[in-house]
Chain A
Amino acid sequence: MDFLRPASWEEALAAKAEHPTAVPIAGGTDVMVEINFDRRRPEYLMDLNRVADLYDWEVGEESVRLGASVPYSRIMEHLRAELPGLALASHTVASPQIRNRGGVGGNLGTASPAGDAHPALLAAGAEVEAESVRGARRIPIDDFYTGVKRNALAPDELIRAVHIKKADGPQQYSKVGTRNAMVIAVCAFGLALHPGTRTVRTGIGSAAPTPVRARTAEEFLRAALDEGGFWDNGKIIPPSVARRFADLCAAACNPIDDVRGTADYRRHAVGVMARRTLAWTWESYRGPGRVTEGAA
């Protein structure tokens, strides 16, 4: 094994071009486990800790450009207002020690269906900035996950940053596990209201081969909110609508039975999380000043 130590992004791209099998390592929370347990012996290990700009973020007009290595603890601390869904998701990642090292770039690189950041990225809307010596491109998050632990990156590409749309409405994140800390999601759910476009977006984790959106559910809710004038009148969403939304989210899952939970349980839990996160975000959208009598 060779240990590559690029001091800059350009050096990292050159090294990846020369050695496409090189495994990038930043927080090490996935890669080191595989090496420690002898499940992986990469020919080249490429340390990205020295590439300083991977730790920067910029808050723009429409979106946040989040460097691939910005640790979850920083996201929680500094980007709660702009990226509330991702900040909540970050808080559910493992433990303080892990959140101090791990970042969204690693979650995307590993592309595990159980990665905590994915549902929040899907719900908010995001693009992955990938680059190689051949050039840079932006991969829409909807096209990024291509299979179980597979993503759209070419062998010579590295993830430089993620461009995440700034929240234009309430966002929520929910995760099911056996305890609060140090838990791989049994399943997870992210929901973002986008009052600007009068749409909603979802993200489901650990309940399909890849992180997925519940598109039919999104479209149903968009139409129902539109039809009832809910964005304007701010009334409580009728239970029948919430239930249908939850059922459609559950139907978007394609889960398996495994050690963490059964497929049936995952479908059920995703439905429950969908209903709850809808209630939380809608309450927040309506705000404290809204009248409480509902349409139901």
Chain B
Amino acid sequence: MRLDFTVNGRPRQADDVWEGESLLYVLRERLGLPGSKNACEQGECGSCTVRLDGVPVCSCLVAAGQAEGREVVTVEGLAHYAGQRSGGTGARGTSPDEAVGGAAEGAGPQAGEGTGPAPVQQAFIDAGAVQCGFCTPGLLIAADALLELNPDPTDADIREALSGNLCRCTGYEKIMDAVRLAAARRSEGV
């Protein structure tokens, strides 16, 4: 079947989608957006987390057809999404290289023309919250969604919001640091 939906602000189309396919598979294998990671395929690890019409979900548990006509934001589009939200001129991190690099490799100026990582991505970089990086995209989406709703989360709030994201490197303390840092920077208007 054919799938038409919006991904990171752009209309996208996928053809020959199998009816039992997950949204995660479509994103990674058909649209060339490998930022969302495929690990457990049963909703336990959170590494495939995306925003579906704004709601953080495990894309491995969304049937591709359920995304028809809907808006998806992946880690590749997080910088743009965060930029738009803050009403700024906003980074438009749409190419895979751009934003995956932004998240995992320590994006700086190379992240693209006039663009930078989203604040939460920058905080992960600065706090050293990335080890192998596999869980990072899902954590970034979840952490960004938390800070959108709750700009000043307690540690308990952060743990709760990230409870569906597993880091097998067990780098949780640095991840907590990163979310605290992103929240603190936001409240200081940095």
Contacts and interface: CB of A to CB of B under 8 A. Distances in A.
Say whether A associates with B: yes
Interface of A: 1-3, 5, 25, 27-29, 31-33, 35-37, 41-42, 45, 47, 49, 94-98, 100-101, 180-182
Contact of A49 (B1, B42, B66): B66
B18 A25 contact: no
A3 to B, nearest CB: 4
A36 B163 contact: no
Contacts, number: 90
29 contacts: A3-B63, A5-B68, A28-B66, A32-B22, A32-B43, A32-B61, A32-B63, A33-B42, A36-B41, A36-B42, A37-B42, A45-B19, A45-B63, A47-B66, A95-B43, A95-B164, A95-B165, A96-B160, A96-B164, A97-B43, A97-B164, A100-B56, A101-B55, A101-B61, A101-B62, A181-B163, A182-B44, A182-B163, A182-B166
Interface of B: 1, 18-20, 22, 41-44, 46, 49, 55-58, 60-63, 65-66, 68, 142, 160-161, 163-166
B43 A29 contact: yes
A248 to B, nearest CB: 34
B23 to A, nearest CB: 9
Tell me the dominant secondary structure on chain A's binding face. loop
Contact of A36 (B1, B46, B60): B60
B42 A25 contact: no
Contacts of A42: 20
Contacts of A181: 163-164
A183 B35 CA distance: 26
